[in-house]
Structure 1
Amino acid sequence: MTGSDGVADAVQVWLVPDQRSEATLTDLLAVLDAEERRRADAYRSADDRRRFIVAHGAVRHIVSRCLGAPAEELRWQRGPHGKPELTGRWTGTQVNLSHSDEVSMVAVSTTRRVGVDVQRVLPRVDATAMANRYFPPEEIRLIRAAPDAESRADRFARLWARKEALVKAHGGRLTQGLRIPVHTPGRVPGGPDAAWSRGYRITDVPAPRGYRAAVALAGPGGYRVVWRRWTWPGPAAGGRTG
Protein backbone atom coordinates (compact mmCIF):
# COMPACT_ATOMS: atom_id res chain seq x y z
CA MET A 1 0.00 0.00 0.00
CA THR A 2 1.49 3.36 -1.02
CA GLY A 3 0.69 6.62 0.76
CA SER A 4 0.27 10.07 -0.74
CA ASP A 5 3.98 10.74 -0.26
CA GLY A 6 4.88 7.75 -2.47
CA VAL A 7 6.42 5.77 0.39
CA ALA A 8 5.25 2.18 0.60
CA ASP A 9 4.54 1.88 4.32
CA ALA A 10 5.55 2.91 7.82
CA VAL A 11 7.28 1.53 10.88
CA GLN A 12 6.46 2.76 14.37
CA VAL A 13 9.46 3.28 16.65
CA TRP A 14 8.84 3.96 20.33
CA LEU A 15 11.43 5.37 22.74
CA VAL A 16 10.93 3.88 26.22
CA PRO A 17 12.92 5.74 28.92
CA ASP A 18 13.61 4.15 32.28
CA GLN A 19 10.75 4.67 34.74
CA ARG A 20 11.19 4.33 38.49
CA SER A 21 7.69 4.74 39.89
CA GLU A 22 6.68 1.73 41.98
CA ALA A 23 3.10 2.11 40.78
CA THR A 24 4.30 1.96 37.17
CA LEU A 25 6.39 -1.15 37.83
CA THR A 26 3.42 -2.83 39.49
CA ASP A 27 1.21 -2.07 36.49
CA LEU A 28 3.78 -3.31 33.98
CA LEU A 29 4.64 -6.45 35.93
CA ALA A 30 0.93 -7.35 35.96
CA VAL A 31 0.82 -7.82 32.16
CA LEU A 32 3.94 -10.01 31.89
CA ASP A 33 3.51 -13.74 31.36
CA ALA A 34 4.99 -16.40 33.65
CA GLU A 35 8.18 -16.79 31.62
CA GLU A 36 8.82 -13.04 31.59
CA ARG A 37 8.29 -12.85 35.33
CA ARG A 38 10.71 -15.72 35.84
CA ARG A 39 13.32 -13.91 33.77
CA ALA A 40 12.73 -10.68 35.69
CA ASP A 41 13.15 -12.46 39.02
CA ALA A 42 16.43 -14.00 37.83
CA TYR A 43 18.19 -10.62 37.80
CA ARG A 44 20.38 -9.99 40.82
CA SER A 45 20.48 -6.25 40.23
CA ALA A 46 17.34 -4.31 41.17
CA ASP A 47 18.14 -1.83 38.37
CA ASP A 48 18.39 -4.61 35.77
CA ARG A 49 15.15 -6.16 37.00
CA ARG A 50 13.35 -2.81 36.82
CA ARG A 51 14.60 -2.12 33.30
CA PHE A 52 13.51 -5.56 32.13
CA ILE A 53 10.01 -5.05 33.52
CA VAL A 54 9.73 -1.57 31.97
CA ALA A 55 10.97 -2.73 28.55
CA HIS A 56 8.83 -5.85 28.31
CA GLY A 57 5.77 -4.27 29.85
CA ALA A 58 6.10 -1.40 27.38
CA VAL A 59 6.28 -3.84 24.45
CA ARG A 60 3.02 -5.43 25.52
CA HIS A 61 1.19 -2.12 25.95
CA ILE A 62 2.52 -0.73 22.67
CA VAL A 63 1.52 -3.83 20.70
CA SER A 64 -1.81 -3.92 22.54
CA ARG A 65 -2.50 -0.37 21.39
CA CYS A 66 -1.49 -1.15 17.81
CA LEU A 67 -3.59 -4.32 17.53
CA GLY A 68 -6.46 -3.61 19.90
CA ALA A 69 -5.52 -6.74 21.85
CA PRO A 70 -5.32 -7.19 25.65
CA ALA A 71 -1.68 -6.67 26.67
CA GLU A 72 -1.62 -9.67 29.01
CA GLU A 73 -2.96 -12.05 26.33
CA LEU A 74 -0.16 -11.51 23.81
CA ARG A 75 2.03 -14.56 23.27
CA TRP A 76 5.49 -14.96 21.80
CA GLN A 77 7.55 -17.74 20.31
CA ARG A 78 11.26 -17.74 19.52
CA GLY A 79 12.67 -18.13 16.04
CA PRO A 80 15.67 -20.32 15.11
CA HIS A 81 18.16 -17.78 16.52
CA GLY A 82 16.08 -16.68 19.50
CA LYS A 83 14.21 -13.68 18.06
CA PRO A 84 10.77 -13.42 19.74
CA GLU A 85 7.81 -13.36 17.35
CA LEU A 86 4.12 -12.85 17.99
CA THR A 87 2.12 -16.05 17.76
CA GLY A 88 -1.54 -17.06 17.78
CA ARG A 89 -4.07 -14.79 16.11
CA TRP A 90 -1.58 -11.90 16.07
CA THR A 91 0.94 -13.68 13.84
CA GLY A 92 2.10 -11.41 11.04
CA THR A 93 2.68 -8.20 12.98
CA GLN A 94 6.42 -7.75 13.37
CA VAL A 95 7.79 -6.46 16.69
CA ASN A 96 11.33 -5.93 17.93
CA LEU A 97 12.81 -4.66 21.20
CA SER A 98 16.23 -3.26 22.08
CA HIS A 99 17.56 -1.84 25.32
CA SER A 100 20.82 -0.26 26.43
CA ASP A 101 21.27 0.86 30.02
CA GLU A 102 18.36 3.21 30.80
CA VAL A 103 16.87 3.38 27.30
CA SER A 104 14.72 0.90 25.39
CA MET A 105 13.23 1.07 21.90
CA VAL A 106 10.36 -0.86 20.35
CA ALA A 107 9.66 -1.12 16.62
CA VAL A 108 6.37 -2.35 15.12
CA SER A 109 5.60 -3.08 11.46
CA THR A 110 2.46 -4.70 10.10
CA THR A 111 3.99 -5.47 6.70
CA ARG A 112 7.73 -6.18 6.91
CA ARG A 113 10.28 -7.92 9.12
CA VAL A 114 11.77 -5.32 11.45
CA GLY A 115 14.77 -4.89 13.71
CA VAL A 116 15.65 -1.99 16.00
CA ASP A 117 18.73 -1.30 18.07
CA VAL A 118 19.85 1.38 20.52
CA GLN A 119 23.45 1.69 21.71
CA ARG A 120 25.02 3.83 24.38
CA VAL A 121 28.07 5.82 23.26
CA LEU A 122 31.01 4.67 25.41
CA PRO A 123 34.09 6.89 24.97
CA ARG A 124 36.14 4.69 27.33
CA VAL A 125 35.85 1.75 24.95
CA ASP A 126 38.69 1.43 22.42
CA ALA A 127 36.51 1.93 19.34
CA THR A 128 39.43 1.49 16.94
CA ALA A 129 40.38 -1.89 18.41
CA MET A 130 36.76 -3.04 18.32
CA ALA A 131 36.38 -1.91 14.72
CA ASN A 132 39.60 -3.68 13.73
CA ARG A 133 38.16 -6.86 15.18
CA TYR A 134 34.67 -6.76 13.69
CA PHE A 135 34.16 -4.18 10.93
CA PRO A 136 35.01 -4.08 7.20
CA PRO A 137 37.97 -1.91 6.07
CA GLU A 138 35.96 1.15 5.02
CA GLU A 139 34.33 1.39 8.45
CA ILE A 140 37.66 0.90 10.22
CA ARG A 141 39.00 3.87 8.23
CA LEU A 142 35.89 5.93 9.12
CA ILE A 143 36.42 5.38 12.84
CA ARG A 144 40.18 5.95 12.69
CA ALA A 145 39.57 9.29 10.93
CA ALA A 146 37.55 10.67 13.86
CA PRO A 147 39.43 13.44 15.71
CA ASP A 148 39.11 12.14 19.27
CA ALA A 149 37.98 9.22 21.43
CA GLU A 150 34.46 10.58 21.90
CA SER A 151 33.95 10.98 18.15
CA ARG A 152 35.34 7.50 17.50
CA ALA A 153 32.97 6.05 20.11
CA ASP A 154 30.06 7.93 18.56
CA ARG A 155 30.78 6.55 15.08
CA PHE A 156 31.27 3.07 16.46
CA ALA A 157 27.94 3.14 18.33
CA ARG A 158 26.09 4.39 15.25
CA LEU A 159 27.54 1.63 13.05
CA TRP A 160 26.92 -1.06 15.64
CA ALA A 161 23.28 0.02 16.05
CA ARG A 162 22.76 -0.24 12.29
CA LYS A 163 24.34 -3.70 12.16
CA GLU A 164 22.31 -5.04 15.10
CA ALA A 165 19.08 -3.64 13.66
CA LEU A 166 19.86 -5.33 10.34
CA VAL A 167 20.62 -8.71 11.89
CA LYS A 168 17.57 -8.55 14.16
CA ALA A 169 15.33 -7.82 11.19
CA HIS A 170 16.75 -10.86 9.44
CA GLY A 171 16.51 -13.02 12.56
CA GLY A 172 20.09 -14.28 12.32
CA ARG A 173 23.24 -14.14 14.39
CA LEU A 174 25.17 -10.92 15.00
CA THR A 175 28.34 -12.50 13.58
CA GLN A 176 26.53 -12.64 10.23
CA GLY A 177 26.14 -8.89 10.11
CA LEU A 178 29.28 -7.38 11.60
CA ARG A 179 31.21 -7.55 8.32
CA ILE A 180 28.40 -6.01 6.26
CA PRO A 181 29.16 -2.37 5.40
CA VAL A 182 26.55 0.04 6.78
CA HIS A 183 28.58 3.27 6.85
CA THR A 184 25.71 5.06 5.13
CA PRO A 185 22.01 4.46 5.92
CA GLY A 186 19.61 3.35 3.22
CA ARG A 187 19.60 0.20 1.14
CA VAL A 188 22.18 -2.30 2.40
CA PRO A 189 24.69 -3.29 -0.29
CA GLY A 190 25.27 -6.77 1.12
CA GLY A 191 28.55 -8.61 1.39
CA PRO A 192 30.25 -11.75 0.11
CA ASP A 193 29.31 -13.73 3.23
CA ALA A 194 25.75 -12.43 3.65
CA ALA A 195 23.99 -11.91 0.35
CA TRP A 196 20.66 -11.83 2.25
CA SER A 197 21.47 -8.34 3.55
CA ARG A 198 20.83 -6.77 0.13
CA GLY A 199 17.12 -7.16 0.81
CA TYR A 200 17.04 -4.68 3.70
CA ARG A 201 16.97 -0.93 4.28
CA ILE A 202 18.34 0.86 7.36
CA THR A 203 17.30 4.22 8.83
CA ASP A 204 18.88 6.10 11.74
CA VAL A 205 16.30 7.20 14.31
CA PRO A 206 16.37 9.81 17.09
CA ALA A 207 17.83 8.74 20.43
CA PRO A 208 18.57 10.49 23.73
CA ARG A 209 21.88 12.28 24.14
CA GLY A 210 24.68 9.76 24.52
CA TYR A 211 22.87 7.05 22.52
CA ARG A 212 22.58 6.08 18.86
CA ALA A 213 19.76 4.06 17.31
CA ALA A 214 18.67 2.56 14.00
CA VAL A 215 15.79 0.57 12.52
CA ALA A 216 15.96 -1.92 9.64
CA LEU A 217 13.11 -3.33 7.53
CA ALA A 218 13.06 -6.19 5.07
CA GLY A 219 12.73 -5.19 1.45
CA PRO A 220 14.56 -2.54 -0.57
CA GLY A 221 11.57 -0.15 -0.74
CA GLY A 222 11.39 3.05 1.26
CA TYR A 223 9.29 3.56 4.38
CA ARG A 224 8.30 6.25 6.85
CA VAL A 225 9.48 6.14 10.45
CA VAL A 226 6.82 7.27 12.93
CA TRP A 227 8.69 8.06 16.15
CA ARG A 228 7.02 8.29 19.54
CA ARG A 229 8.02 8.54 23.18
CA TRP A 230 6.24 6.06 25.47
CA THR A 231 5.45 6.59 29.14
CA TRP A 232 3.05 4.94 31.54
CA PRO A 233 0.50 6.16 32.25
CA GLY A 234 -0.15 9.09 29.95
CA PRO A 235 -0.29 10.01 26.26
CA ALA A 236 2.71 9.50 24.02
CA ALA A 237 4.49 12.33 22.28
CA GLY A 238 4.82 11.64 18.58
CA GLY A 239 6.36 12.72 15.34
CA ARG A 240 7.86 11.29 12.21
CA THR A 241 11.17 11.25 10.45
CA GLY A 242 12.28 10.43 6.90
Structure 2
Amino acid sequence: MNRRNFITKSVATTAVSLLPLSFWSTLWLQEFTLDELTGKANLSLYGEGYQLREEVNKAFSKMQAEAKKEGIHIQIVSAYRSYERQKQIFNAKFSRYTKRGLSGTDAVKKIIEYSTIPGTSRHHWGTDIDIIDAKAKQPKNVLMPRNYDEDGPYCEMKMWLNEHSEKFGFYIVYTNNPKRKGFHPEPWHFSYQKTSLAMLKAYQDIDFQKIITQDTDLKGRAFLSESFLETYKQEHILDINPALLP
Protein backbone atom coordinates (compact mmCIF):
# COMPACT_ATOMS: atom_id res chain seq x y z
CA MET A 1 0.00 0.00 0.00
CA ASN A 2 1.28 3.47 -0.84
CA ARG A 3 2.52 5.09 2.38
CA ARG A 4 0.91 8.44 1.65
CA ASN A 5 -2.44 6.83 0.92
CA PHE A 6 -2.14 4.78 4.09
CA ILE A 7 -1.60 7.73 6.41
CA THR A 8 -4.70 9.50 5.16
CA LYS A 9 -7.01 8.60 2.34
CA SER A 10 -7.70 11.03 -0.46
CA VAL A 11 -9.94 13.91 0.47
CA ALA A 12 -13.31 13.91 -1.20
CA THR A 13 -13.49 17.53 -2.29
CA THR A 14 -17.15 17.19 -3.13
CA ALA A 15 -18.08 15.99 0.35
CA VAL A 16 -19.23 19.38 1.57
CA SER A 17 -21.15 20.33 -1.58
CA LEU A 18 -23.20 17.13 -1.38
CA LEU A 19 -24.61 17.96 2.05
CA PRO A 20 -28.36 18.74 2.03
CA LEU A 21 -29.60 22.31 2.23
CA SER A 22 -31.27 21.58 5.59
CA PHE A 23 -27.83 20.82 7.02
CA TRP A 24 -26.51 24.25 6.04
CA SER A 25 -29.59 26.21 7.14
CA THR A 26 -29.39 24.67 10.61
CA LEU A 27 -25.64 25.08 10.73
CA TRP A 28 -25.45 28.80 10.08
CA LEU A 29 -28.23 29.62 12.54
CA GLN A 30 -25.89 28.72 15.40
CA GLU A 31 -24.21 31.61 17.16
CA PHE A 32 -20.95 31.51 19.08
CA THR A 33 -19.47 34.09 21.43
CA LEU A 34 -15.95 35.49 21.08
CA ASP A 35 -14.91 33.72 24.28
CA GLU A 36 -16.37 30.46 23.01
CA LEU A 37 -14.36 30.68 19.80
CA THR A 38 -11.09 31.48 21.56
CA GLY A 39 -11.16 29.06 24.48
CA LYS A 40 -12.13 31.51 27.19
CA ALA A 41 -15.76 30.52 27.76
CA ASN A 42 -17.14 28.26 30.49
CA LEU A 43 -18.67 25.58 28.26
CA SER A 44 -20.88 22.62 29.12
CA LEU A 45 -18.67 19.73 28.15
CA TYR A 46 -18.99 15.95 28.31
CA GLY A 47 -16.80 12.87 28.38
CA GLU A 48 -14.79 10.64 30.69
CA GLY A 49 -11.13 11.65 30.83
CA TYR A 50 -11.68 14.24 28.11
CA GLN A 51 -14.10 17.09 27.34
CA LEU A 52 -16.25 17.60 24.25
CA ARG A 53 -19.46 19.30 23.26
CA GLU A 54 -22.48 17.11 23.88
CA GLU A 55 -23.23 16.31 20.22
CA VAL A 56 -19.56 15.63 19.51
CA ASN A 57 -19.24 13.31 22.49
CA LYS A 58 -22.32 11.36 21.39
CA ALA A 59 -20.92 10.91 17.89
CA PHE A 60 -17.51 9.91 19.23
CA SER A 61 -19.03 7.37 21.63
CA LYS A 62 -20.85 5.73 18.72
CA MET A 63 -17.65 5.60 16.65
CA GLN A 64 -15.66 4.27 19.59
CA ALA A 65 -18.21 1.52 20.27
CA GLU A 66 -18.28 0.46 16.62
CA ALA A 67 -14.49 0.31 16.43
CA LYS A 68 -14.33 -1.75 19.61
CA LYS A 69 -16.39 -4.47 17.93
CA GLU A 70 -13.40 -4.96 15.62
CA GLY A 71 -10.84 -4.94 18.39
CA ILE A 72 -9.84 -1.29 18.02
CA HIS A 73 -9.88 0.77 21.21
CA ILE A 74 -9.98 4.43 20.21
CA GLN A 75 -8.78 6.62 23.06
CA ILE A 76 -8.81 10.41 23.17
CA VAL A 77 -5.57 11.89 24.47
CA SER A 78 -6.57 15.50 23.84
CA ALA A 79 -9.94 17.13 23.23
CA TYR A 80 -11.12 20.52 24.55
CA ARG A 81 -8.26 22.80 25.51
CA SER A 82 -8.75 26.22 27.08
CA TYR A 83 -6.97 29.40 26.05
CA GLU A 84 -4.91 29.33 29.25
CA ARG A 85 -3.85 25.72 28.73
CA GLN A 86 -2.82 26.46 25.14
CA LYS A 87 -0.86 29.45 26.35
CA GLN A 88 0.98 27.27 28.88
CA ILE A 89 1.97 24.91 26.06
CA PHE A 90 3.05 27.77 23.78
CA ASN A 91 5.02 29.58 26.48
CA ALA A 92 6.79 26.41 27.62
CA LYS A 93 7.88 25.60 24.07
CA PHE A 94 9.00 29.16 23.43
CA SER A 95 11.18 29.10 26.55
CA ARG A 96 12.59 25.68 25.70
CA TYR A 97 13.47 26.58 22.12
CA THR A 98 15.04 29.95 22.94
CA LYS A 99 17.12 28.34 25.70
CA ARG A 100 18.44 25.99 23.03
CA GLY A 101 19.66 29.02 21.10
CA LEU A 102 16.85 29.67 18.62
CA SER A 103 15.94 33.26 17.92
CA GLY A 104 12.47 34.42 18.92
CA THR A 105 11.30 34.28 15.30
CA ASP A 106 12.70 30.80 14.76
CA ALA A 107 11.24 29.60 18.07
CA VAL A 108 7.76 30.68 17.00
CA LYS A 109 8.20 29.02 13.61
CA LYS A 110 9.28 25.81 15.35
CA ILE A 111 6.29 25.88 17.69
CA ILE A 112 3.75 26.25 14.90
CA GLU A 113 4.92 23.15 13.11
CA TYR A 114 2.48 21.27 15.36
CA SER A 115 1.21 23.62 18.10
CA THR A 116 -1.17 26.54 17.75
CA ILE A 117 -0.95 30.07 19.03
CA PRO A 118 -3.43 30.44 21.94
CA GLY A 119 -6.75 31.81 20.80
CA THR A 120 -6.45 30.06 17.42
CA SER A 121 -6.68 26.38 18.35
CA ARG A 122 -9.51 24.20 17.03
CA HIS A 123 -9.26 22.40 20.37
CA HIS A 124 -10.81 25.51 21.95
CA TRP A 125 -14.12 24.53 20.34
CA GLY A 126 -14.75 21.12 21.90
CA THR A 127 -15.12 19.65 18.41
CA ASP A 128 -11.65 18.23 17.79
CA ILE A 129 -9.87 15.16 19.10
CA ASP A 130 -6.38 13.66 19.10
CA ILE A 131 -6.62 9.88 19.26
CA ILE A 132 -4.57 6.72 19.72
CA ASP A 133 -5.35 3.00 19.89
CA ALA A 134 -5.32 2.14 23.59
CA LYS A 135 -4.98 -1.58 22.80
CA ALA A 136 -1.64 -1.17 21.05
CA LYS A 137 1.77 -1.28 22.69
CA GLN A 138 2.33 2.36 23.52
CA PRO A 139 5.43 4.16 22.20
CA LYS A 140 7.27 6.73 24.32
CA ASN A 141 5.79 9.63 22.34
CA VAL A 142 2.28 8.78 21.18
CA LEU A 143 1.44 11.66 18.82
CA MET A 144 4.10 11.05 16.21
CA PRO A 145 3.30 10.48 12.50
CA ARG A 146 5.40 7.29 12.39
CA ASN A 147 3.08 5.66 14.92
CA TYR A 148 0.28 5.76 12.33
CA ASP A 149 2.38 4.37 9.47
CA GLU A 150 2.01 0.84 8.12
CA ASP A 151 4.48 -0.52 10.66
CA GLY A 152 3.37 1.73 13.53
CA PRO A 153 1.43 0.64 16.62
CA TYR A 154 -1.69 2.57 15.55
CA CYS A 155 -1.75 1.38 11.93
CA GLU A 156 -4.79 -0.86 12.41
CA MET A 157 -6.78 1.96 13.96
CA LYS A 158 -5.76 4.35 11.18
CA MET A 159 -6.92 1.91 8.53
CA TRP A 160 -10.27 1.56 10.29
CA LEU A 161 -10.65 5.35 10.56
CA ASN A 162 -9.83 5.79 6.87
CA GLU A 163 -12.81 3.57 6.13
CA HIS A 164 -15.31 4.59 8.79
CA SER A 165 -14.63 7.92 10.57
CA GLU A 166 -16.60 10.10 8.16
CA LYS A 167 -19.70 7.95 8.67
CA PHE A 168 -19.73 9.28 12.22
CA GLY A 169 -19.00 12.88 11.17
CA PHE A 170 -15.26 12.95 11.94
CA TYR A 171 -12.76 14.20 9.35
CA ILE A 172 -8.99 14.42 9.55
CA VAL A 173 -7.95 18.08 9.75
CA TYR A 174 -4.31 18.37 8.68
CA THR A 175 -3.91 16.06 5.71
CA ASN A 176 -0.68 15.02 4.02
CA ASN A 177 -1.56 16.81 0.79
CA PRO A 178 1.89 17.99 -0.43
CA LYS A 179 0.37 21.29 -1.61
CA ARG A 180 -1.07 22.08 1.82
CA LYS A 181 0.80 24.63 3.96
CA GLY A 182 0.61 25.32 7.69
CA PHE A 183 0.79 22.58 10.29
CA HIS A 184 2.59 19.35 9.53
CA PRO A 185 0.28 16.38 8.79
CA GLU A 186 -1.43 15.06 11.92
CA PRO A 187 -2.92 11.59 11.34
CA TRP A 188 -4.26 11.65 14.92
CA HIS A 189 -6.31 14.88 14.71
CA PHE A 190 -9.98 14.61 13.74
CA SER A 191 -12.80 17.14 13.81
CA TYR A 192 -16.55 16.75 14.09
CA GLN A 193 -17.60 18.34 10.82
CA LYS A 194 -21.09 19.60 11.49
CA THR A 195 -20.20 21.78 14.49
CA SER A 196 -16.67 22.78 13.54
CA LEU A 197 -17.82 24.06 10.13
CA ALA A 198 -20.10 26.56 11.83
CA MET A 199 -17.46 27.54 14.35
CA LEU A 200 -14.80 28.12 11.71
CA LYS A 201 -17.22 30.28 9.73
CA ALA A 202 -17.87 32.38 12.84
CA TYR A 203 -14.16 32.44 13.72
CA GLN A 204 -13.26 34.06 10.40
CA ASP A 205 -15.24 37.15 11.43
CA ILE A 206 -13.41 37.84 14.71
CA ASP A 207 -10.27 39.94 15.27
CA PHE A 208 -8.10 37.18 16.69
CA GLN A 209 -4.97 39.24 16.11
CA LYS A 210 -6.11 41.78 18.70
CA ILE A 211 -6.65 39.05 21.29
CA ILE A 212 -3.16 37.64 20.72
CA THR A 213 -1.20 40.88 20.62
CA GLN A 214 -2.90 42.29 23.75
CA ASP A 215 -1.97 39.29 25.90
CA THR A 216 1.08 40.58 27.78
CA ASP A 217 1.71 37.13 29.32
CA LEU A 218 2.19 35.47 25.93
CA LYS A 219 5.85 34.78 25.30
CA GLY A 220 7.08 35.63 21.83
CA ARG A 221 4.29 38.16 21.38
CA ALA A 222 6.75 40.66 19.94
CA PHE A 223 7.43 38.33 17.02
CA LEU A 224 3.76 37.97 16.05
CA SER A 225 3.43 40.85 13.62
CA GLU A 226 0.25 41.69 11.73
CA SER A 227 1.67 40.27 8.50
CA PHE A 228 2.89 37.12 10.27
CA LEU A 229 -0.54 36.50 11.79
CA GLU A 230 -2.30 37.08 8.47
CA THR A 231 -0.09 34.45 6.85
CA TYR A 232 -0.68 32.18 9.85
CA LYS A 233 -4.43 32.56 9.36
CA GLN A 234 -4.28 31.60 5.70
CA GLU A 235 -1.84 28.72 6.11
CA HIS A 236 -2.50 27.30 9.59
CA ILE A 237 -6.16 28.05 10.20
CA LEU A 238 -7.62 27.84 6.71
CA ASP A 239 -5.33 25.49 4.76
CA ILE A 240 -6.95 22.31 6.03
CA ASN A 241 -9.04 19.40 4.73
CA PRO A 242 -11.48 21.04 2.26
CA ALA A 243 -14.31 19.03 3.78
CA LEU A 244 -13.92 21.16 6.93
CA LEU A 245 -14.04 24.53 5.20
CA PRO A 246 -17.36 26.46 5.25
What TM-score do the two structures reach when normalised by structure 2?
0.29
Structure of higher RCO (CA pairs closer than 8 Å, 6+ residues apart): 2
What TM-score do the two structures reach when normalised by structure 1?
0.29
Larger proportion of strand: 1
